Structures are given as structure tokens and as C-alpha cells.
């Protein structure tokens, strides 16, 4: 019998073990930086957002795109063309420079995973 030793360059963390930070200049929104340059991710950041009931992320646009997956809660995603409801199980692509904002319209926290293309660690961890 042969055994192969395969080198792995992996990092595993449970989201509950990652400190939540308040989103800069935004009340009622928390972010956990799950994967980022500080742990070896060279191109993509994976973040877990929590938006408390009645609050929203900033209305913004920027160069990087987002891929989002809604885990819990309900809300609306605002854009230049209007609003669309979002719920658990929804996968969302937000193109570069697309105006966007997530609003929690429910009675429980709205949680979603969101990617960001960057080779820098989060400001709060640098």
C-alpha cells in the first residue's frame, strides 16, 4: 500500500470564532472578515455581514464586484433600477460600479456572505 503526502496550504475558521466589527460609518451593520490576505487569501476576501432589523448597508458603488449569498433574514437590495426582495438561498452578483444597498426589512438579522476582490488585509486587522 502506498501513501502519498500532499502538501496543503489551507486555513479553516468557524465564523463564530471571528470577531464582528461594526461597519465603518454605518450603524446596525456588523462584518466578520472570514478569509483575507492576513490568512493567505491573495485575491479574494470573504466576509459575513449581519444587518440588524431596520438598518442597511451604505448606498454605494465601487470598482470591485461582489458575489453575495443570503444565509438568514429577509430584505431588499436597492439599485439604480429599483429594489428587489432577497431571502435565504439567494445568490446575487453585483457588477463593478453598480449602485447597491442591502436593507433589512424583517424582524431578525439579515446575514449574507459577500466577496471582495483585494490583496489587502481588512483595515481593522492591519
What pTM did the predictor assign?
A: 0.91
Name all domains of the chain by residue range, CATH numbers in brackets: 20-121 (2.60.120.10)
- Exactly one of 51, 68, 94, 114 is catalytic; name it: 114
Phi (first) and psi of residue 125, to 5 degrees: -105, -10
Condensed to tens digits (0 to 9), the pLDDT of residues 5-62 reads 556 678 889 999 999 999 988 999 999 999 999 988 999 999 999 999 999 999 999 9
Is position 26 annotated as part of the catalytic site?
Answer: no
Amino acid at each position: 500500500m502506498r501513501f502519498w503526502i500532499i502538501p496543503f496550504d489551507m486555513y479553516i475558521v468557524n465564523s463564530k470564532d471571528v470577531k464582528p466589527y461594526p461597519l465603518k460609518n454605518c450603524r446596525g451593520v456588523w462584518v466578520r472578515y472570514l478569509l483575507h490576505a492576513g490568512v493567505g487569501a491573495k485575491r479574494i476576501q470573504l466576509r459575513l455581514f449581519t444587518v440588524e432589523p431596520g438598518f442597511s448597508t451604505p448606498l454605494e458603488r465601487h470598482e470591485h464586484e461582489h458575489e453575495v449569498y443570503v444565509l438568514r433574514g429577509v430584505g431588499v437590495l436597492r439599485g439604480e433600477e429599483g429594489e428587489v426582495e432577497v431571502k435565504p438561498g439567494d445568490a446575487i452578483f453585483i457588477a463593478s460600479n453598480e449602485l447597491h444597498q442591502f436593507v433589512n426589512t424583517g424582524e431578525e438579522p439579515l446575514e449574507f456572505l459577500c466577496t471582495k476582490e483585494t490583496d489587502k488585509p481588512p483595515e481593522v486587522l492591519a
